[in-house]
Amino acid sequence: MEAVPQTRATALAIGGLAPHRMRRQRLGDTLFRGTTRGFALGVLLLLGAIITALFVGSLPAFRAFGFGFLFNSSWNPVTENFGALPAIYGTVITSFLAMLLAMPLAFGVAIFLTELCPRALRRPIGVLIELLAAIPSIIYGIWGLFILAPFLQTTLQPALIASFGRLPLIGALFGGPPLGLGILTASMILAIMVLPFIASVSRDVFQTVPAMLRESAYAMGATTAEVVRDIVIPHSRIGIVGGVMLGLGRALGETMAVTFVIGNAHRIKASLLAPGTTISATLANEFTEAVSQLYTSSLIALGLILFVITLIVLAAANYMLWRLSGETT
């Protein structure tokens, strides 16, 4: 280490390091800090870049169809008349049904894991349920197509048609032949896929309920079900809604599993047994086959719509879960 005479005094004053070393260290710190900040900014910009790219890509479609694109229910590649309504309808209805099916199951799992399960089994069962989330979408698709759909076609669907098909209003929901593939099957697959997300968030928020509250209720003679209904659920309401929204965000954008079992028909039918389509399934099926610019652009416009919907849902979900973590810590 060479000393630089004229600045030796200052160097000694700030800790005895030679000034060029000090400067090098500062430079190193600034560089490191700057690099990490740069990458963080990059993540931020990525979201903007995605929206911009989708917007630019969908301009031709919006120019050709205007806002009517959102409400047009035809999808005809030959005459190049495209509308998003059937895909939006399919996306919303499958996700809605999936949440309807998944929520009670997920809360059941969360209640079981926090209130009922022997301590030694909590972790293994929790992990097994979470493994449902690790299975890739395409595996659910292949399972849904070859196992679940034929099973539903011969069991649940004929039963539904026989018992509800003739009722005045509800009958329309269960009309038509049992095809196996369709809105209902897609919703059931989606329900299985979002179950672990809702269950694990619910379990985590149930666990944040202070033991004292719970024990007080038990000491008053409340049953486990009453403790859950009157103490645990009211205390973790925001977290539960956040978890449900998170699951909804997943369900809306789920692609491969739905593509396998939805039947891919650009039609809006009242019956839940009828085939339909979703935005993501339309993209997966048609994007590589779209030849004309307007066709491609309409598909990208569908993608933009999907992204905006999921963005809103996920932002709301994260906001709620954040407020919660701000409260408890």
Partner 1 sequence: MKGVGLYAQRRATNFVILSLSMAATAAGLVVLFLILGALLWHGIPALSGDLFTRMTPPPGSKGGLLNAIYGSAVMTAAATLLGTPVGILTGTFLAEFGRGSRLAQAVRFVNDILLSAPSIIIGLFVYEMMVVPMGHFSAWAGTIALAIIVVPVVVRTSENMLTLVPASLREAAVALGTPQWKMVVMVVYRAAIQGMLTGVMLAIARIAGETAPLLFTALNNQFWSGDMNGAMANLPVVIFQFALSPYADWQLLAWGGALLITLAILTLNIFARLVASWSSFAK
Out of 232, 252, 262, 294, the residue judged to bind partner 1 by CB under 8 A:
252
List the interface residues with partner 1, window 59-98 (CB under 8 A). none
Q: How far is CA 145 from the centre of its chain?
A: 22
Q: Measured between alpha carbons, how far is 30 from 40 in angstroms, rounded to an integer?
A: 15
Instruction: Figure out which of the listed residues 232, 240, 261, 306 binds partner 1, where binding follows CB under 8 A.
Output: 306
Count, residues near partner 1 per rule CB under 8 A: 91
Name the segment binding partner 1 (CB under 8 A); options: 67-75, 100-108, 156-164, 166-174.
Answer: 100-108
137 in contact with partner 1 (CB under 8 A) = yes
Q: Which stretch binds partner 1 (CB under 8 A): 61-69, 133-141, 152-160, 176-184?
A: 133-141
Give the CA count within 13 Å in the CB-facing half-sphere of 317: 20
Near partner 1 by CB under 8 A: residue from 4, 12, 100, 131: 131
Binding flag, residue 286, partner 1 (CB under 8 A)? no
Cα–Cα distance measured from residue 95 to residue 251, given in angstroms and rounded to the nearest whole number: 5
Could you give the C-alpha distances from 174 to 158, 162, 164, 202, 311, in angstroms and in order? 9, 9, 7, 32, 32
Using the contact rule CB under 8 A, the part of the chain among 64-72, 122-130, 163-171, 178-186 near partner 1 is 122-130
The CB density around residue 67, as the number of other CB atoms within 10 Å, is 8
Which parts of 150-189 interact with partner 1 (CB under 8 A)?
none
For residue 218, which amino acid is it?
Y
Whichever of 115 and 204 has its CB closer to partner 1, that residue is 115
Interface with partner 1, residue 226, by CB under 8 A: yes
Of the candidates 132, 213, 233, 241, which one interacts with partner 1 according to CB under 8 A?
Answer: 132
DSSP reduced 3-state for 59? helix
Kindly state whether residue 11 participates in binding partner 1, applying the rule CB under 8 A.
no
CA distance 166 to 151: 23
Q: Of all helices (H) and strands (E), which one includes residue 311?
A: helix 293-328
